[in-house]
Amino acid sequence: MVKIFTFNKTIYLKIHMISIRISILAQCCMNDYANRQMNLQTVTYHSVDFRANEA
């Protein structure tokens, strides 16, 4: 019985670590996407300001 318990525990810990890694990767991807969106917004704002200055 003890062997089975420890075996299940190791499997649980492995799955837990994998899920943590996946969540960290997902957060990194979301942050990267948000940064790109922000960069796009700032670029469009700058182009609008530039046009306003030209006019």
CA distance 41 to 25: 24
CA distance 51 to 43: 12
Which structural domain, as residue segments, surrounds residue 54?
1-55
pLDDT in tens, 38-51: 777 776 666 666 56
Q: Lowest-pLDDT range, 4-8, 14-18, 32-36, 41-45?
A: 41-45
Number of domains in the chain: 1
| Nearest CA among 30, 24, 27, 28 for reference residue 16 | 24
For 6, the token pair is 């420890």
Q: Give pLDDT, residue 30.
A: 83
Type of residue numbered 23: S
- What average pLDDT does the segment 19-36 reach? 84
Mean of per-residue pLDDT scores for the chain:
76
Q: How confident is the model at residue 32 (pLDDT cuts 50, 70, 90)?
A: confident
